[in-house]
């Protein structure tokens, strides 16, 4: 891990180059503000809520799926956390996390048993959950009643924000799970080559369901954190989170074809997008243009990923029919 | 992920429903069931006025769904239709305000649809990137253009004559309904009676084989994207002229609804199956379902749940039947 060659390979990754470019660009263009310690502190807090979401997407991308329901799981979890707060802080949090796990399980079942393409299945659950959310909140925002709960989203430990520390711990756990446990490695095997994984005796369906469950859990974790940060919940949060999470995971090296994905790189991917948004805010770019720039970033990233796959398959003399990459 | 299918064990499904949905005429049966339910709920349902109103209500969405169906047959998606609907209306209205004539403003409105379709199609065809993600990105991009153009305000139609497109009637039937039905029949004839139409199915079934037999698959897919953009733009013009004003997110939700309608009409999400007449049936199912939910006083928010649920059941059946055939 700490070999010089590894460090060199790490710096050569596109996401790191992109991050360095953006860092230098905004350090120059938004000069007095960007490198301010206070801004960096804010930046770390801002990205904390996107990290679990991107990790969720990455986990599903590793097994060759995609989870579009993360955004609505996030908003529903936030609503549950705040809505059930009067029954006790823990009740809301536990209910929200359980909700994420259950949705992940349902997604996994639909994908494996129903033979539905992951993005269609999760598109369906996304609509269902959003409908349930609208029904639950009656399209109104809910205000939180427990001040102590806001500590998890707003507090700081020394220089570092609490949510940032939490997501770092979460990332380390996920990293160890993916790297050092059998189930974690099975995820890569299933995504890399489904038939081989099946023939090697891996329980492919179970592995996929586990990936979706992890994704649901992480998405709801993100929702709980966000609820704590805002101390309220509206139906509008998490609307474009899917796109954001996909973009972060893909610039972090995950691929639509599965089998690839790295926790650290995804973390840096989120950080890169966070720097982009933060920098645009500091440079006073209008929100409308920001939305467009983000969308362009997604398109460019996906195209880049696709071109990379074509080049790779040419090198390996392997035919990948792009239509099957769903 | 077609390679998975070979090894996955026999899927379980709701047996009777599956057998029902295996056949193409399932959508007709589904429509019939909904019609009978509606008849029992309200004696006024079968009045000519109500039926025409249902048709009028779904005609704009129906036109979008027709384009989406053509694209789905080739095995591609377009998620950007929702905001193209908004963009075409905005372009037409803003150009009218800028002093352009009626016909020119309509042509301008339609041409933005063609442009977005070209943009999507070129990227998807040439980079072989995931169609879903690309069009998701371009959808947000178009949304940001909408926001920039309208400055988040509502703009009213400037030329009175423009309103006849959405509100005008001939023999008690709205123009938009006629346009929708005629377009469906024309596209049906195109698909079934012309060689190019048949190529749509070949490409959807297997793009590689289609290319090897000398079909210009990329050109046809590009054409399908342009057609999809064009129909979305047409629907946008109709919606704008019906409401008399336009906003940035005029067609929000239509991306998903058009997919649902196409799938309800028996179009396969994997390409190669479906036709526009059955999409009309799918659209009618949605319209009648909506009408039923209103008749039984279902909360507005729950309609989305019902739609999502019906969608999931249908794609489940689609996936299971696909597994079975292979």
Answer yes or no: is pLDDT of B82 > 90: no
User: Is residue A78 within 8 Å of residue A223, measured between CB atoms?
Assistant: yes
Buried b (16+ CB within 10 A) or exposed e, A134-162: bbbbeeeebebeeeebeebbeeeeeeebb
Please tell me the least confidently modeled range out of A53-57, B232-236, B269-273. B269-273
Tell me the mean pLDDT in the region B133-160.
84
The tens digit of pLDDT for each residue in A23-37 reads 777 777 767 777 788
Tell me the mean pLDDT in the region A258-269.
84
User: Is residue B109 within 8 Å of residue B89, measured between CB atoms?
Assistant: yes
pLDDT at A6: 65
CB-closest option in A115, A123, A139 to B11: A115
Query: Looking at CA atoms only, how far is residue A53 from chain B in angstroms?
Result: 17
Answer yes or no: is pLDDT of B21 > 70: no
Residues with Cβ within 8 Å of residue A74, at least 6 apart in sequence: A53, A219, A220, A222, A223, A226, A237, A238, A241
pLDDT at B4: 37
User: Is residue A285 within 8 Å of residue B141, measured between CB atoms?
Assistant: no
- Burial class, B35, CB count within 10 angstroms (exposed 0-12 / middle 13-18 / buried 19+): middle
CA angle (B69, B70, B71) in 5-degree steps = 90
User: Is residue A118 within 8 Å of residue A67, measured between CB atoms?
Assistant: yes
Buried b (16+ CB within 10 A) or exposed e, A252-288: bbbbbbbbbbbbebbbbbbbbbbbbbbbbbbeeeeeb
pLDDT band, residue A12 (cuts 50/70/90): low
Enumerate the residues of chain A whose CB falls inside 8 A of the CB of residue B13.
114
pLDDT at B225: 92
CB-closest option in B127, B139, B312 to A303: B127
pLDDT at B257: 82
**Separation of alpha carbons B41 and B12, rounded Å:** 33
The tens digit of pLDDT for each residue in A112-156 reads 888 788 888 888 888 888 888 888 888 788 887 777 777 877 878
The tens digit of pLDDT for each residue in A80-116 reads 888 887 777 788 889 999 999 999 999 999 888 887 8
Buried b (16+ CB within 10 A) or exposed e, B274-297: bbbbbbbbbbbbbbbbbbbbeeee
CB-closest option in A120, A130, A199 to B315: A120
Average pLDDT, chain B: 80
**Separation of alpha carbons B56 and A236, rounded Å:** 30
pLDDT band, residue B1 (cuts 50/70/90): very low
Answer yes or no: is pLDDT of A321 > 50: no
pLDDT at B112: 92
pLDDT band, residue A210 (cuts 50/70/90): very high
Residue linked to tokens 């809301």 = A92
pLDDT at A101: 94
Under an 8 A CB cutoff, do A131 and B256 touch?
Answer: no
Nearest chain A residue to B270 by CA distance is: A117
Closest to B93 in 3D by CA, of B163, B141, B180: B163
Q: Tell how far CA A288 is from the center of its chain.
A: 23
**What does the CA dihedral A170, A173, A179, A181 come to, rounded to 10 degrees?**
-140
CB-closest option in A204, A288, A307 to B144: A288
Q: Tell how far CA A270 is from the center of its chain.
A: 8
pLDDT band, residue A68 (cuts 50/70/90): confident
3-state DSSP percent of chain A in helix, strand and coil, to 5: 75, 0, 20
Average pLDDT, chain A: 82
Under an 8 A CB cutoff, do B133 and A120 touch?
Answer: no
Tell me the mean pLDDT in the region B76-86.
88
pLDDT band, residue A311 (cuts 50/70/90): low
Query: Looking at CA atoms only, how far is residue B10 from chain A in angstroms?
Result: 8
């Amino acid at each position: 891990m700490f070999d010089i060659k590894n460090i060199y390979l790490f710096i050569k990754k596109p996401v790191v180059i992109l991050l360095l470019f953006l860092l230098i660009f905004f350090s120059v263009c938004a000069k007095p503000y960007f490198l301010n310690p206070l801004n960096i502190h804010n930046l770390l807090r801002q990205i904390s809520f996107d990290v679990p979401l991107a990790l969720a997407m990455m986990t599903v991308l590793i097994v060759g799926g995609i989870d579009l329901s993360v955004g609505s799981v996030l908003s529903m979890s936030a609503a549950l956390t705040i809505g059930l707060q009067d029954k006790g802080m823990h009740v809301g949090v536990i209910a929200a996390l359980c909700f994420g796990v259950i949705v992940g399980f349902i997604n996994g079942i639909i994908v494996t048993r129903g033979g539905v393409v992951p993005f269609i299945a999760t598109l369906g659950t996304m609509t269902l959950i959003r409908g349930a959310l609208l029904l639950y909140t009656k399209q109104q925002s809910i205000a939180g009643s427990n001040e102590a709960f806001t500590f998890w989203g707003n507090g700081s430990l020394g220089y570092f924000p609490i949510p940032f520390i939490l997501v770092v711990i979460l990332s380390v756990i996920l990293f160890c799970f993916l790297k050092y446990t059998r189930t974690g490695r099975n995820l890569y095997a299933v995504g890399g080559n489904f038939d081989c994984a099946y023939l090697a005796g891996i329980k492919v369906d179970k592995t996929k369901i586990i990936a979706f469950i992890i994704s649901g859990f992480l998405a709801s974790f993100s929702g709980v954190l966000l609820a704590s940060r805002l101390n309220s919940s509206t139906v509008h949060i998490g609307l474009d989170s899917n796109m954001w999470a996909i973009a972060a995971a893909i610039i972090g090296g995950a691929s639509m074809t599965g089998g690839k994905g790295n926790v650290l790189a995804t973390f840096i991917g989120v950080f890169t997008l966070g720097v982009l948004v933060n920098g645009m805010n500091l440079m006073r770019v209008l929100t409308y243009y920001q939305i467009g720039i983000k969308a362009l970033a997604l398109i460019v990233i996906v195209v880049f990923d696709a071109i990379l796959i074509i080049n790779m398959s040419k090198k390996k003399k392997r035919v990948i029919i792009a239509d099957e990459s769903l | 992920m077609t390679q998975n299918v070979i090894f996955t064990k026999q899927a379980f499904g709701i047996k009777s429903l599956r057998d029902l949905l295996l056949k193409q005429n399932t959508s007709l049966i589904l429509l019939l069931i909904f019609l009978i339910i509606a008849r029992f709920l309200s004696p006024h349902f079968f009045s000519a006025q109500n039926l025409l109103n249902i048709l009028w209500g779904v005609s704009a969405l129906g036109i979008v769904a027709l384009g989406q169906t053509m694209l789905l047959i080739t095995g591609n998606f377009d998620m950007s239709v929702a905001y193209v609907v908004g963009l075409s209306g905005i372009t037409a209205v803003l150009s009218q305000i800028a002093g352009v004539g009626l016909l020119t403003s309509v042509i301008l409105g339609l041409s933005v649809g063609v442009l977005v379709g070209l943009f999507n199609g070129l990227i998807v065809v040439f980079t072989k990137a995931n169609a879903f993600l690309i069009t998701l990105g371009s959808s947000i991009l178009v949304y940001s253009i909408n926001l920039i153009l309208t400055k988040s305000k509502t703009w009213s139609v400037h030329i009175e004559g423009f309103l006849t497109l959405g509100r005008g009637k001939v023999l008690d039937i709205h123009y938009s309904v006629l346009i929708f039905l005629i377009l469906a029949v024309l596209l049906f004839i195109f698909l079934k009676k012309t060689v190019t139409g048949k190529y749509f199915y070949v490409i959807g079934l297997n793009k590689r084989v289609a290319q090897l037999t000398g079909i210009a698959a990329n050109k046809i897919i590009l054409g399908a994207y342009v057609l999809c953009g064009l129909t979305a733009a047409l629907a946008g013009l109709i919606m704008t002229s019906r409401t008399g004003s336009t906003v940035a997110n005029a067609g929000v939700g239509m991306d998903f609804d058009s997919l649902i309608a196409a799938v309800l009409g028996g179009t396969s999400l994997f390409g190669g199956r479906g036709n526009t007449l059955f999409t009309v049936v799918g659209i009618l199912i949605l319209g009648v379902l909506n009408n039923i939910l209103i008749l039984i006083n279902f909360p507005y928010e729950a309609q989305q749940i019902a739609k999502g649920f019906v969608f999931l059941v249908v794609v489940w059946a689609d996936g299971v039947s696909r597994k079975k055939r292979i």
